[in-house]
Structure 1
Amino acid sequence: GNDCCPSNFSETPVILTEPYFNFCSIQEAMAEIFFEEYECQSLLRIPAGDLSEYHYRSENRSTQCCLIIDCGYSFTHIAPYIRGKKQKNAIKRIEVGGKLLTNHLKEIISYRQLHVMEETYVMNQVKEDTCFVSMDVMADMAKCKKKYPENDIVRDYILPDFTNLRRGYVHTFDKPPVVEQQKLRMNNERFSVPEVIFHPSDIGINQMGLSEAVRLSIQQCPEDARSELYKNIVVTGGSALFPGFKERLYKDVRADAPDEFDVNITLPENPVTYAWKGGKLISKDPEFYTFVVTKEEYEEEGPNICMERFDS
């Protein structure tokens, strides 16, 4: 409550994000918490992808369609929107998110070098600081078998000791070696971990990769919208920050897409806060109060009004 958010909830509308196809029991519990515990003035429950689409459409007024790729913490969603309406039958979900990538990196490093299974926070930083998306996995794999300087991928990651060093950092081999600090050697792990988003089968997840999911999602949309969808692919979420992510996605989608369609991928300046900024914009929309459920409506009609009003 007031400890972490010093606001008067009874005078404040709240925008609450949720996954696509959320369970009804969870939706009811969320409405109950916000209206009965926090007594908030009004509530808008909406998927983050809807906010990203609103943000993109507000900046590209002439655009009728877009495809939102949300690389989240627990999974990756691919959702097409036509004239502001999401095409529910064409939404795809890949069970790969930032959490799985961090856990996969922990397992690899624990098996090969140092036991880090309890160091989720540090290993998440290692992932963010060192990993990248490869444009040619086999060529990079061959390079990783060589020694520096022929191998320009290998790095040392200096681990924090939380006394003198609060956050780890990448150490390249052209600098003097660091002796006193504990370190990890990052070689093919740097690109094999993010590769799971593009090929989940690499670690035994029997699902399609990202570019295939994009193609299938667009294929399940009306024919006259497909060209526009390929031209307006928007990537959001933390995993989109991997260096090379946008370029690799373009390469793979371009290879899968019909030749007559142009492919364009937009990576926002900050893909992590893109949906949040969409929420900020929607809160200033003149029609905002037609989207929300007020406390009075909730008290009169109960949880059913939320089910009817919100399209998740």
Structure 2
Amino acid sequence: MSTLVLDNGAYFAKIGYSHEKVSVIPNCQFRSKTSRLKTFTANQLDEIKDPSGLFYILPFQKGFLVNWDVQRKVWDHLFGKEMFKVDFADTNIVITEPYFNFSSIQESMNEILFEEYQFQSALRINAGSLSSHRYFHENNSELCCIVVDSGFSSTHIVPYCRGRKMKEGICRITVGGKLLTNHLKEIISYRQLHVMDETYVINQVKEDVCYVSQDFCKDMEIAQLKGEDNTVMREYVLPDFSSIKKGFCKPREEMNFTGKYKTGDQILRLTNERFAVPEMLFHPSDIGIQEMGIPEALVNSINNMPEEMQPHFYKNIVLTGGNTLFPGYRDRVYKEVRALAPVEYEVSVVLPQNPICYPWEGGKLLAENPDFEEMVVTREDYEENGHYVCEEKFDV
């Protein structure tokens, strides 16, 4: 019997059979400016010739799955003929869900997986639990780890001990990739060019040019300098989707420091936005969100743990999620946690090679675990006992 592992993120779904490779696919639908009536689903995004003014229809809001119509269409597409050709009667599914998920959402998910799709068996689990499973598999001498999962909607910090999550240490920061992109859209619209409708393009800009500053004040001083002394400034050529299909950063030697451009060139000049936007992960209060940044929340979470376990958490900090891909992210987390942690404790921060697919890899390992059959709820079980059996079995 095959097992399908689906890390059902708020922006990307990471999906694949446990014996195959993972596919990373947008977990949403799109409407384009040019063909308003047609809706594109998941990886059909590639078919849109002009993604300017692209409108997103997301199944998730604030980190929770609320739009089942959209989610069903995405799943129909993923499980259907052109993607994974799922034979439901002969397939188990491992699927992720958010921490502290609402029971009404859990019940709807059970119903859809067992009654509509009729999977043979299912396991609902948090993405962080899969990440910890992968980490303990690779570092089997370790007893504890703390997972920082910084994704699209929010950032979660969750301590694990011997594979069990410690609920009293879970922290949620309501800053994720979506907020960063929206903030960058606002800054650019205010300073240079109206881009409030260009989520797709500005998300690309964010991924291409933003980085995490190691010394915010020093970078801020450099960003105010004129001409070539301003080493922070970058020029970003926006796509026009006819001759330029994808935006790109100009090489430093080709940059124009006079500020005068040829007509027709659509160029963004980015200075302090490059590091001020990711800074919100470390100081949410910069934009009025009264919450701790990631390093403080990490230390706070570890301080809620029994004292004898604390040194083990400090030396096993695991970073996952898309926001960890900002250059300088890992170094900044290490630097700030090191400054806040007791001197005698060793601090180690691990950034996996592929932090986006790390939980999926954990799900793949879990599916090969000899105890896997004990963890799942079978369709028979569900038909006999209903939601109650899922509540009992899944620790989410």
Same fold (TM over 0.5): yes
**Distance (Å, rounded) in 2 between the aligned partners of 1:190 and 1:139:** 14
> For residues 31-73 of structure 1, what are the alpha-carbon distances to aligned partners after superposition, in whole Å with 9 as ceiling and x for unaligned?
1001011001111100000000000000001010000000011
Q: Which residue of 1 aligns with 2:304?
A: 220
Query: Are the counterparts in 1 of residues 145 and 160 from structure 2 also a CA contact under 8 Å?
Result: yes
Query: Are the counterparts in 1 of residues 235 and 268 from structure 2 also a CA contact under 8 Å?
Result: yes
SS in 1 for 2:229: coil
Q: 1:225 to 1:176 in 2, by over 3 A?
A: closer
Supply the AA of the counterpart residue of 1:123: I
Tell me if 1:210 matches 2:294.
yes
Q: Which residue of 2 aligns with 1:112?
A: 191
Q: Which residue of 2 aligns with 1:11?
A: 90
SS in 2 for 1:13: strand
- RMSD (Å), alpha carbons: 1.1
Query: Are the counterparts in 1 of residues 236 and 270 from structure 2 also a CA contact under 8 Å?
Result: yes
Query: Are the counterparts in 1 of residues 322 and 356 from structure 2 also a CA contact under 8 Å?
Result: yes
**Distance (Å, rounded) in 2 between the aligned partners of 1:80 and 1:244:** 23
SS in 2 for 1:263: coil
Gaps of 5+ in 1: none
**Distance (Å, rounded) in 2 between the aligned partners of 1:237 and 1:198:** 15
Query: Are the counterparts in 1 of residues 90 and 120 from structure 2 also a CA contact under 8 Å?
Result: yes
Tell me if 1:285 matches 2:364.
no
> For residues 122-176 of structure 1, what are the alpha-carbon distances to aligned partners after superposition, in whole Å with 9 as ceiling and x for unaligned?
1110000000000000000011000232111100111111111211001134116
**Distance (Å, rounded) in 1 between the aligned partners of 2:205 and 2:329:** 17
Tell me if 1:132 matches 2:216.
no
Query: Are the counterparts in 2 of residues 148 and 154 from structure 1 also a CA contact under 8 Å?
Result: no
**Distance (Å, rounded) in 2 between the aligned partners of 1:255 and 1:159:** 40
Tell me if 1:142 matches 2:221.
yes
Query: Are the counterparts in 2 of residues 157 and 185 from structure 1 also a CA contact under 8 Å?
Result: yes
> For residues 277-307 of structure 1, what are the alpha-carbon distances to aligned partners after superposition, in whole Å with 9 as ceiling and x for unaligned?
1111111111111111110100000011111
Tell me if 1:263 matches 2:347.
yes
SS in 1 for 2:359: helix
Supply the AA of the counterpart residue of 2:361: K
Query: Are the counterparts in 1 of residues 235 and 255 from structure 2 also a CA contact under 8 Å?
Result: no
Q: Which residue of 1 aligns with 2:171?
A: 92
Tell me if 1:190 matches 2:190.
no
SS in 2 for 1:110: helix
Supply the AA of the counterpart residue of 2:131: S
Supply the AA of the counterpart residue of 2:323: S
Q: Which residue of 2 aligns with 1:234?
A: 318
Find 2:360's aligned residue among 259, 276, 299.
Answer: 276
Q: Which residue of 2 aligns with 1:25?
A: 104
Query: Are the counterparts in 2 of residues 133 and 191 from structure 1 also a CA contact under 8 Å?
Result: yes
> For residues 67-118 of structure 1, what are the alpha-carbon distances to aligned partners after superposition, in whole Å with 9 as ceiling and x for unaligned?
0000011000000011111100110000000011001101111111111111
* Superposition TM-score, scaled by structure 1 size: 0.98
Q: Which residue of 1 aligns with 2:55?
A: none
Tell me if 1:60 matches 2:162.
no
Gaps of 5+ in 2: 1-75
Query: Are the counterparts in 2 of residues 52 and 274 from structure 1 also a CA contact under 8 Å?
Result: yes
Q: Which residue of 1 aligns with 2:3?
A: none
* Superposition TM-score, scaled by structure 2 size: 0.77
Tell me if 1:42 matches 2:121.
yes
Aligned-residue offset at 1:7? 1.2
**Distance (Å, rounded) in 2 between the aligned partners of 1:78 and 1:49:** 9
Supply the AA of the counterpart residue of 2:208: D
Task: State the percentage of identical aligned residues.
Answer: 54
Supply the AA of the counterpart residue of 2:193: L
- Count of residues in correspondence between the two structures: 312
Supply the AA of the counterpart residue of 2:254: K
Aligned-residue offset at 1:10? 1.4
Higher RCO, Cα 8 Å, sep 6+: 1
SS in 1 for 2:211: coil
SS in 2 for 1:77: strand
Supply the AA of the counterpart residue of 1:153: V
Query: Are the counterparts in 2 of residues 156 and 185 from structure 1 also a CA contact under 8 Å?
Result: yes
> For residues 182-226 of structure 1, what are the alpha-carbon distances to aligned partners after superposition, in whole Å with 9 as ceiling and x for unaligned?
111110000000000000000000101111100110000111110
Query: Are the counterparts in 2 of residues 77 and 92 from structure 1 also a CA contact under 8 Å?
Result: yes
